[in-house]
Amino acid sequence: VPHHYAPDPGTGWDEGFVDFTGPATTTYTDLGYIEPGRPVVPLADASGPRAVIGRIARAARRDNPLLEVETGAAVHELLVALRRARADLAPDGHPVLKALARDACLPLTVADHAARHGMTPAELRTAVRRGAGCSPKDYLLGIRLGRAKELLAGTELPVAAVARRVGYDDPAYFSRLFTRRVGTPPVRFRAQQGRAVPGGWSDQVPDPADPPVIGRTDPPAAP
């Protein structure tokens, strides 16, 4: 229902209310998308959330057979749009996240990272949870493993050297961690990436008699 609030119709303001509940609200609260203690946050641009609310209003007609599914999906979209539009956080993440990403591969603990930003570990956890939806440890780990994948796939560095490059002095610990999180050991991950075409890495057009096969996991049999 459209509403307009103002003592003067020409200088008033618009308000959009979306009342919802459900089990997902707990998850979004845990991730920092909903802050019960801070119900009002500034928006840099309300056009995105406003457009989503408009879609909710159009979908919420009594004759819509997809009313519950369509409006439910739009609520999830609205929460993301509100998070992206917040004026107190940069569009590409909280400033602290940029610094953490830059320093992720340094041999620092979470407490060390917090101290570098003049924060307590608890304050850092709150900032990262609000900006990235996860703990500082998981955020840093994700960046480290992403860099490790790049090095394994794009270089011939030994696994121990890759481990050091991403902040782990113990290559055995790195291998166990990589295997647990990625689902395959570093050596096997590298081998799988190297078989994008038969015979391994290549910048040449494959032999027409031996074209690439999607999903191949074993090298071609010896003639």
Q: Kindly report which listed range (58-67, 149-158, 192-201) carries the lowest average pLDDT score.
A: 192-201
Buried b (16+ CB within 10 A) or exposed e, 40-72: eeebeeeebbeebbeebeebeeeeeeeeeeebe
Total number of domains constituting the chain: 2
pLDDT in tens, 7-33: 565 666 667 788 888 888 888 877 777
Report yes or no on 63 lying in a domain. Answer: yes
- Among the candidates 64, 85, 106, a domain finishes at 85
Residues 46 and 78 in one domain: yes
Q: What is the pLDDT of residue 95?
A: 74
pLDDT surpasses 60 at 46: yes
Q: CATH number for the domain including 148?
A: 1.10.10.60
Residues 100 and 164 in one domain: yes
Q: What is the pLDDT of residue 14?
A: 67
186, 165 contact by CB (below 8 A) = no
Q: What is the pLDDT of residue 10?
A: 62
pLDDT in tens, 171-207: 999 999 999 988 889 999 888 876 443 343 444 444 4
What pTM value is reported for the model?
0.48
Residue-range definition of the domain harbouring residue 38: 24-85
Backbone angles phi, psi at 71, to 5 degrees: -70, -35
Report yes or no on 6 lying in a domain. Answer: no
SS3 category, 155: coil
- Cβ atoms within 10 Å of 28's Cβ, excluding its own: 18
CA–CA gap between residue 162 and residue 150 (Å, rounded)? 10
Q: What is the pLDDT of residue 9?
A: 59
Nearest Cα to Cα of residue 178 among 191, 189, 165, 169? 189
Q: What is the pLDDT of residue 170?
A: 93
Residues 110 and 81 in one domain: no
Report yes or no on 210 lying in a domain. Answer: no
116, 156 contact by CB (below 8 A) = no
Residue 2 structure tokens: 């459209």
Buried b (16+ CB within 10 A) or exposed e, 101-125: bebbbeebebeebbeeeebeeeebb
83, 46 contact by CB (below 8 A) = no
**Higher model confidence: residue 131 or residue 103?**
103
pLDDT in tens, 90-110: 544 467 887 888 888 998 889
pLDDT in tens, 205-216: 444 555 444 444
